[in-house]
């Protein structure tokens, strides 16, 4: 019987590589609350991003989103609506509702599957002062084209609302100009969860070009204590990254370029073969971090056939999460208009397995399922015709 292929199989650095950094925390007997590993990782991640943004480490990206929304939209936001795509992971919307705000779903554009700038403009115009802010997403970690990111920024500046970008899997991705993610909007949020390319177990970061905002967010992660030991906001909480996770992050960073190379080589091989068979990939995906391999099947029927065949062949190919506006939990929140692109992409979406060490034989097994699954659905239609 064939070995199963898991959707993901994360790796952490070897113990000795982690211990090399953790030794400083042991020596100082300092294991949380911004110890030596935390400080070094903050500095090295900012350098990795080019030195122009500040990095605030978080216990996970969900808390990063909760705090970025709370801080940027204010403790009494001007409206309660946060414009957000529905084609994303539930945590994006949960961070909004945790703040007592409500999502206003907007559509994505068909090429890159990011927040459609045109739909954003319409939503801002239609809802005016009821809009508290915008939460755009790089749901799959791929950078939007520079012009699109700029269009989001301009629309938000014109409307006078903050822009936050959830780029959870995208630490290390760059756009067509080579600009690394991390400088989008007023703040950008990354996840370092085990299943992300920058995998440390649990963790995340908020990046921002605004140093004052970074200091404020840092205090928020630590119960909003100021240097005077006074509590400065009732909304502080504990969102600190521990020293052991920071030590893992430092060890990950030492080999991160190799990890990205390994993921890109494998994903590009799949992309090259699948595009020839009619499967579609996101615009700009070549310089993504590839948390997994997101792909759009030529039709919903082919997508379903692939999922069935994958199960038979013991390969954990997934669809993607249902669009959030279609989930009962979130369905009561308003949509700007119908979301035809989101719904079409979701019906045809496939998420293919990826791992740093996915073997050639495993890649061939995955590709065989996609190529055969697509053929098995197209055959009867051709016969009938
Ligand atoms: N925004 C976006 C756009 C996100 O995608 C996410 C997280 C967030 C915000 C929030 O970030 P965090 O607060 O988590 O930092 C996983 C992750 O749990 C989740 O972090 C991630 N998105 C999401 C896309 O993927 P599941 O429910 O798919 O995980 P699960 O348990 O099904 O595991 C996936 C695969 O990995 C399976 O094949 C099992 C395998 N696995 C998993 C773990 C944790 C392993 O082999 N080893 C492991 O240690 O959500």
DSSP states along 250-296: HHHHHTHHHHHHHHHHHHHHHHHHHHHTT-B--TTGGGS--SSEEEE
d(CA 296, CA 286): 16
User: 15-254: which CATH architecture?
Assistant: 3-Layer(aba) Sandwich (3.40)
Residue whose C-alpha is closest to residue 61's, from 241, 183, 210, 186: 241
Q: Where does residue 107 rank: exposed (0-12), middle (13-18), buried (19+ CB within 10 A)?
A: buried
- Give the pLDDT score at 384: 33
Which ligand 1 atom sits nearest the alpha carbon of residue 203? Answer: 15
Distance from Cα 265 to the centre of ligand 1, integer Å:
22
Q: Where in the chain is the domain with CATH 3.40.640.10?
A: 15-254
Residue 76, pLDDT > 90, answer: no
Provide CATH 3.90.1150.10 ranges for the chain.
256-376
Atom of ligand 1 nearest to the CA of 169: 5
pLDDT at residue 30 tops 80: yes
**How sure is the predictor about 326, in pLDDT bands with cuts at 50, 70 and 90?**
very high
Model confidence at 77, pLDDT cuts 50, 70, 90, reads confident
Alpha-carbon span 94 to 364, nearest angstrom: 38
CATH number of 256-376: 3.90.1150.10
Q: Kindly report the average pLDDT of the chain as a whole number.
A: 95
Q: How far is the CA of 223 from the centre of ligand 1 (A)?
A: 27
Residue 367 has pLDDT above 80, yes or no: yes
Strand order in the sheet with 204-208: 54-58, 204-208, 187-191, 163-166, 131-137, 81-85, 102-106
Higher pLDDT, 378 or 164: 164
How far apart, in Å, are the Cα atoms of 201 and each of 33, 61, 71, 90, 193?
18, 12, 26, 19, 5
The whole-number pLDDT of residue 383 equals 35
Pairing of strands 204-208, 187-191: antiparallel
pTM for the model stands at 0.96
In tens, the pLDDT along 211-257 reads 999 999 999 999 999 999 999 998 999 999 999 999 999 999 999 99
HSE at residue 145, side-chain half, CA atoms within 13 A, is: 11
The answer to whether residues 140 and 294 touch, using CB atoms and an 8 Å cutoff, is: yes
Reported confidence tier of residue 61, pLDDT bands at 50, 70, 90: very high
Which protein residue's CA is at the shortest distance from atom 39 of ligand 1? Answer: 8
Output the ligand 1 site: residues, CB below 6 A.
Answer: 6-10, 60-62, 88-89, 91-92, 137, 139, 166, 168-169, 191, 193-195, 204, 316
Separation of CA 109 and ligand 1 centre (Å): 25
Taking the C-alpha atoms of residue 159 and residue 126, their distance in angstroms, rounded to an integer, is 11
Q: How far is 306 from 264, CA to CA, in rounded Å?
A: 23
**CA of residue 9 to ligand 1 center, whole Å:** 11
Q: Residue 373: its pLDDT value, please?
A: 84
* For residue 379, pLDDT beyond 60: no
Atom of ligand 1 nearest to the CA of 9: 46
* pLDDT of 160: 95
For position 377, what pLDDT does the model report? 63
Residue with tokens 């350098």: 47
């Amino acid at each position: 019987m064939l070995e199963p292929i898991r959707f993901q199989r994360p790796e952490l650095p070897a113990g000795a590589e982690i211990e090399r950094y953790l030794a400083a925390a042991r020596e100082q007997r300092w294991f949380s609350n911004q110890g030596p590993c935390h400080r070094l990782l903050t500095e090295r991640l900012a350098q990795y991003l080019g030195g122009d943004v500040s990095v605030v480490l978080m216990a996970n990206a969900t808390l990063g989103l909760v705090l970025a929304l709370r801080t940027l939209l204010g403790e009494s936001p001007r409206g309660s609506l946060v414009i957000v795509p529905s084609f994303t992971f539930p945590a994006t919307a949960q961070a909004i509702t945790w703040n007592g705000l409500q999502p206003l779903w907007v559509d994505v554009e068909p090429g890159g599957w990011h927040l459609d700038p045109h739909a954003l403009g319409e939503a801002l115009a239609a809802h005016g002062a009821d809009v508290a802010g915008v939460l755009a997403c790089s749901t799959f970690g791929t950078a939007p084209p520079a012009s699109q990111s700029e269009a989001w920024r301009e629309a938000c500046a014109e409307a006078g609302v903050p822009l936050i970008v959830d780029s959870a899997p995208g630490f290390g991705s760059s756009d067509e100009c080579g600009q690394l993610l991390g400088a989008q909007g007023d703040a950008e949020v990354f996840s370092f969860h085990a299943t992300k390319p920058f995998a440390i177990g649990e963790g995340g970061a908020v990046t921002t070009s605004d140093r004052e905002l970074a200091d404020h967010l840092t205090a928020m992660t630590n119960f909003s204590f100021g240097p005077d030991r006074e509590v400065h906001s009732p909304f502080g909480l504990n969102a600190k990254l521990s020293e052991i996770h920071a030590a893992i992050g430092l060890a990950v960073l030492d080999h991160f370029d190799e990890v990205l190379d390994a993921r890109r080589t494998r994903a590009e091989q799949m992309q090259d073969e699948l595009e020839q068979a009619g499967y579609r990939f996101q615009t700009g995906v070549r310089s993504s971090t590839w948390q997994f391999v997101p792909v759009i099947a030529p039709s919903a029927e082919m997508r379903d056939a692939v999922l069935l065949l994958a199960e038979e062949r013991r390969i954990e190919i997934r669809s993607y999460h249902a669009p959030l506006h279609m989930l009962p939990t979130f369905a009561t929140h308003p949509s700007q208009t119908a979301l035809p692109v989101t719904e079409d992409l979701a019906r045809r979406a496939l998420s293919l397995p990826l791992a740093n060490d996915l073997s050639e034989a495993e890649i061939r097994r995955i590709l065989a399922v996609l190529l055969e699954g697509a053929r098995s659905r197209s055959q009867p239609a051709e016969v009938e015709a």
